[in-house]
Amino acid sequence: MSEKSSRSDVVYRLLRQAILEQALRPGTKLAEDTIADHFKVSRTSVRAALVRLNAEGIVDLRANKGACVAEPTLEEARDIFALRRMLEAEVIRRLVADLGSADVKRLEQHVRQEEAALSDHGPLSIRLAGEFHILLAELTGSQALARFVREIVSRCSLILARFARLHSPECAVDEHVQIIRALRSRDTATAERIMLEHLHAVELRAELDIDKAEPDISAVLQRYASKG
Amino acid sequence: MSEKSSRSDVVYRLLRQAILEQALRPGTKLAEDTIADHFKVSRTSVRAALVRLNAEGIVDLRANKGACVAEPTLEEARDIFALRRMLEAEVIRRLVADLGSADVKRLEQHVRQEEAALSDHGPLSIRLAGEFHILLAELTGSQALARFVREIVSRCSLILARFARLHSPECAVDEHVQIIRALRSRDTATAERIMLEHLHAVELRAELDIDKAEPDISAVLQRYASKG
DNA sequence: ATCAACATGATTGTATACAATATTGACGAC
DNA sequence: GTCGTCAATATTGTATACAATCATGTTGAT
């Protein structure tokens, strides 16, 4: 019970949560001093946390220039979503094969939490939506698969934070309910299809087709060149 | 050209290489002072490197007890190999779809390096074998997929270091040649089959069926109880 | 006015010092 | 002799101090 967590752990978790809840948006500078002062710890602990976040791909770490919340490009976004579809399809296939009633209970309980948080329209519902997918991966029993899903869901949160218009909950709760139902039906093809449709819907919310990002400043300035 | 690399980067790369070349075997204690003294840097840089290696899953980091080279269990080993088969099958499917002649050249060049290092029977051939698979993943153009393959290949190296009898090259070079040939033939089914057979061969080398690991001390002592 | 060179301040990279925790060995009770 | 307790040592976790690098604004020449 008594979880001993080091200070760098605390900073890591809080920063991560802040980023995934879109309180810290992509591109935000993460100055070590600022964070250290705010959490009342030394820069040492902050640096350790930033190194970890960088390894997970949600923080960029440019040499001698400090850290900032990662800004996935449109290209990376499509790449990541494609891989996500593949990973989560595998999750579904494995779960259809052996999903116990206890597992279903946990999933249903999670969805109830999501529903309760729905009126919130805040960071909580954003986080819970992602954690539903992570929970699915964990229920496969594969540590490695769950690890990858966790990482890729995090990066998808970043993508939505960057590109999606309003930071509404990423997943419709109803779609999660459908996934659970499909799993219980033990129909692999259907379950997989519903998951892929769900992920496609999430991707649509990100509006990856519309180049709203303007990740490159020069691209913006190009259009102003003629206005002289 | 002038690559500026921080000291923690250097330590990270060297430690990683030493582990993947099986110079540092699973379970080896990684005392910060020892490493710092050896590389003539401060513990600060060493710690940063260890945090990164821990995030990649090749170093275990127990609180207040220091770091050691990760010791994957048999269960984890099977889990990781299963996921590896899935990821690399995807790599093959993508490569068959669009593999340029330049890509083939790079693969063939790599295999030549492997052949040259074969007589070596040393760490170099171990590393090159793994890097062939990473190169394949990179040629898909998917950063995310390459990243996951890189991580999972690293962990497979650890598994082989722990369980395989002799630390012979993990992959037969000939099998790599076959993979290239299958890719050039543009026959997805065949290419995928050959890759899966190859990975199966690698897994067999690890002798994951035989419980040679004895990860649990009590299991060992059990057999000595009667000798008392 | 424009631009380059430089000086100043701010921020990161690294080393060292100190605090907290774990490991080891010795001592003493039984 | 065995076990538990405690002191001494070693190692990790954290903070602070210093060095190196980058950002910014000023000065001065053209």
User: Chain A partners of B47 at a C-beta cutoff of 8 Å?
Assistant: 48
Q: Which of B185, B220, B207, B51 is nearest to A47 (CA)?
A: B51
Residues with Cβ < 8 Å from A214, sequence gap 6 or more?
Answer: A220
Q: What H or E segment, with its residue span, contains residue A67?
A: strand A66-69
pLDDT greater at residue A226 or residue B90: B90
Q: Tokens representing B146? A: 């390459």
Q: What are the tens digits of pLDDT across the range A20-54?
A: 988 999 999 999 999 999 999 999 999 999 999 99
Q: Which of B52, B47, B49, B53 is nearest to B66 (CA)?
A: B47
Distance from the B74 Cα atom to the nearest Cα atom in chain A, whole angstroms: 13
Over residues A111-122, the mean pLDDT reads 86
The CA distance from A3 to A25, in Å, is 30
Residue B215 in this model has a pLDDT that exceeds 60: no
The pLDDT of residue B120 is 74
Residue B147 touches partner A, C-beta closer than 8 Å? yes
Look-up: residue for tokens 């990973």?
A87
pTM (two decimals):
0.89
Q: What are the tens digits of pLDDT across the range B80-126?
A: 999 999 999 999 999 998 898 999 999 999 999 999 988 777 788 88
Chain A residues 50-69 within 7 Å (CB) of strand D: 63-65
Reduced to 3 states (helix: H, G, I; strand: E, B; else coil), residue B122 is coil
Residue A203 in this model has a pLDDT that exceeds 90: no
Q: Tokens representing B16? A: 């990683």
Q: What are the tens digits of pLDDT across the range A3-17?
A: 568 999 999 999 999
The pLDDT of residue B227 is 45
Mean pLDDT (chain B, rounded) = 88
- What single DSSP character describes residue B226? G
Q: Which of A225, A213, A98, A102 is nearest to A159 (CA)?
A: A213
Q: What are the tens digits of pLDDT across the range A49-75?
A: 999 999 999 999 999 999 999 999 989
Single-letter amino acid, residue A94: R
The CA distance from B153 to B107, in Å, is 17
The CA distance from A165 to B107, in Å, is 43
Decide if A56 and B55 are in contact by the 8 Å CB cutoff: yes
The torsion angles phi and psi of A76, rounded to 5 degrees, stand at: -60, -40
The CA distance from B181 to B188, in Å, is 12
Look-up: residue for tokens 């890097």?
B131
Q: In what order do the strands lie in the sheet with B29-30?
A: B29-30, B66-69, B59-62
> Is the four-CA dihedral B83, B89, B93, B95 of positive or negative sign?
positive
% of chain A surpassing 70 pLDDT: 86
- pLDDT class for A107, splitting at 50, 70, 90? very high
The CA distance from A104 to A14, in Å, is 30
